[in-house]
């Protein structure tokens, strides 16, 4: 009852039919809002009558034609799911990255009326149910986007939820969603917002410095009792997790968005683990580069270990950034929606989710 939902606490009950499997969709840009000098919100309409269907916190893959080149990038959805509201739009709030080719193109070129291909929903970072107790939404930089989707969802369906919003940014002009959060606080009495700046300017009277146990304790003294949803750079999420655990919180109550650096993973593939000797090595040819992969090792990890660069976004089979074309060889691939069935049928693989079972030849 505290959440204002009576006996209903599952978001799936509020939004029936939300798919677990991603689908290929065409989106039309119907609006662009300037949030700050280097942040824009892009509003899309799903051209299918049954869209959009996703859970707060999930992401989507955009497939863009940039100067005749196909480029895939994954972005978190910032808007709340609109199922059962008659709203078939969704929003991406994106910062123009100085070295980011895709975000620069979107800021400069994407206009209302243009259509892009997409694939969604992607990712297991999702608010599946209204948490029974207090929660913390902790972000750094653009990591605020999926958490804003969660907050907007809770504002609509559980305005009485006890929520701590903690956001880390460099400068005051880098803070995302500040005005909207202030507005939400007027009808969400238990929403407390805290912001820390690592490079505060004159006139800033809020928290200062990089995320630390002291700062989080000042913002949320009961942080260790809260269920945490955290998104930001990998090092930031690792720091927040350690702070949460240091106060005795249960590991299962900490959720992170797994976009970040390549990390070593243990193979769970029955083929790779049972049928191959651990000393087995496979030759991988990628364009004019050659390297070797150990049995059970993903192609992305093998490439990273040998200084062969393969663009990567999530390293967990979600975003599709590390997509390659397989010309020959056998692999064991287990991704989380980063490839469409059509891509798989056309011989594409994800380097982060593919373990070689023979010598393999690939190209970009």
**Has residue 128 been placed in a domain?**
no
**250 found inside a domain:** yes
Q: Is 238 helix (H, G, I), strand (E, B) or coil?
A: helix
114 and 142 both lie in a single domain: no
Q: Is residue 127 included in any domain, yes or no?
A: no
Which of 100, 122, 144 is the last residue in one of the domains? Answer: 122
For residue 169, the enclosing domain spans: 135-256
What is 6-52 written as a DSSP string?
A: TT--BHHHHSTT--SS-EEEEEEEEEEEEEETTEEEEEEEESSTT--
Our measurement of the distance from residue 223's CA atom to the centroid of its chain's CA atoms, rounded to an integer in Å, reads 23
For residues 238 and 312, membership in a common domain is answered with no
Lowest mean pLDDT among 54-58, 107-111, 250-254: 250-254
Confirm whether 4 is domain-assigned: no
Asked if residue 341 and residue 275 are part of one domain, the reply reads yes
User: What is d(CA 97, CA 95) in angstroms, rounded to the nearest whole number?
Assistant: 6
| Range 6-32 burial, b when 16+ CB lie within 10 A, else e | eeeeebeebbeebeeebbebebebeee
- The whole-number pLDDT of residue 16 equals 57
301 and 199, same structural domain?
A: no
Residue 154 domain-assigned? yes
Instruction: Strands of 103-177 (E only): list them.
Output: 115-122, 135-140, 163-169
**159 and 196 fall within a common domain:** yes
Give the pLDDT of residue 18.
66
Q: In terms of domains, do 37 and 95 share one?
A: yes
- 296 and 199 co-located in one domain: no
**For the chain, percent of residues with pLDDT exceeding 90:** 54
Say which CATH number the domain at 352 has: 3.10.20.30
For residues 165-178, average pLDDT? 93
**pLDDT tens track for 73-87:** 889 999 998 755 557
> pLDDT at residue 33 above 80?
yes
**Same-domain check for residues 174 and 203:** yes
pLDDT at 6 over 50: no
Task: Give the pLDDT confidence of 175-221 residue by residue, as tens digits.
Answer: 999 999 999 999 999 999 999 999 999 999 999 999 999 999 999 99
Residue 352 is assigned to a structural domain of this protein: yes
Could you tell me if residue 279 is inside a domain? yes
Whichever domain contains 61, its CATH number is: 2.40.30.10
Tell me: do 186 and 163 sit in the same domain. yes
99 and 161 fall within a common domain: no
Residue 333: inside a domain:
yes
Residue 122 pLDDT: 84
Say what the pLDDT of residue 83 is.
54
Whether 151 and 71 share a structural domain: no
Tell me: do 301 and 345 sit in the same domain: yes
pLDDT computed for residue 313 by the predictor: 67
Task: Please determine, for residue 309, whether its predicted confidence score (pLDDT) is greater than 60.
Answer: yes
**Helix spans in 176-212 (H):** 178-184
Number of domains in the chain: 3
Average pLDDT over residues 298-322: 83
CATH number at residue 218: 3.40.50.80
Out of 122, 143, 161, pick the residue that ends a domain. 122
Overall average pLDDT of the 248-274 stretch: 56
Chosen domain end from 122, 151, 180: 122
Q: Give strand pairing partners of 229.
A: 137, 255
Consecutive H or E run containing 299? helix 299-305
């Amino acid at each position: 009852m505290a959440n204002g939902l009576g006996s209903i606490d599952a978001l799936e009950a509020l939004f029936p039919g939300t798919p677990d499997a991603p689908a290929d969709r065409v989106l039309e840009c119907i609006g662009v809002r300037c949030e700050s000098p280097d942040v824009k919100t892009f509003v899309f309409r799903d051209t299918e009558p049954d869209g959009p269907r996703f859970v707060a916190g999930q992401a989507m893959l955009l497939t863009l034609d940039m100067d005749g080149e196909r480029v895939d990038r994954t972005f978190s959805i910032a808007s709340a799911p609109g199922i059962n509201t008659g709203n078939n739009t969704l929003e991406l709030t994106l910062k123009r990255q100085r070295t980011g080719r895709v975000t620069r193109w979107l800021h400069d070129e994407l206009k209302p009326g243009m259509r892009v291909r997409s694939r969604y929903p992607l990712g297991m970072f999702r608010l599946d149910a209204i948490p029974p107790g207090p929660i913390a939404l902790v972000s750094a930089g653009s990591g605020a986007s999926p958490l804003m989707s969660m907050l907007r969802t809770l504002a609509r369906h559980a305005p009485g939820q006890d929520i701590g919003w903690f956001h880390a940014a460099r400068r005051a002009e880098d803070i995302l969603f500040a005005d909207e959060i202030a507005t939400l606080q007027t009808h969400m009495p238990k929403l407390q917002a805290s912001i820390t700046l690592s490079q505060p300017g004159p006139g800033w009277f809020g928290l200062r410095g990089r995320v630390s146990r002291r700062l989080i304790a000042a913002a949320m003294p009961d942080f260790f009792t809260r269920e945490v949803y955290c998104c930001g750079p990998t090092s930031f999420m690792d720091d927040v997790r350690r702070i949460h655990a240091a106060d005795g919180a249960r590991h299962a109550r900490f959720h992170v968005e797994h976009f970040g650096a390549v990390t070593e993973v243990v193979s769970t593939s029955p083929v790779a683990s049972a049928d191959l000797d651990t000393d087995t090595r496979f030759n991988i040819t990628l364009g004019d580069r050659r390297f070797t992969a150990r049995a059970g090792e993903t192609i992305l990890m093998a490439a990273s270990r040998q200084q062969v660069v393969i663009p990567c976004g999530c390293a967990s089979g979600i975003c599709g950034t590390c997509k390659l074309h397989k010309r020959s060889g056998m692999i064991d691939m287990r991704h989380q929606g980063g490839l469409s069935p059509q891509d798989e049928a056309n011989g594409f693989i994800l380097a982060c989710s593919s373990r070689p079972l023979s010598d393999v030849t690939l190209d970009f």
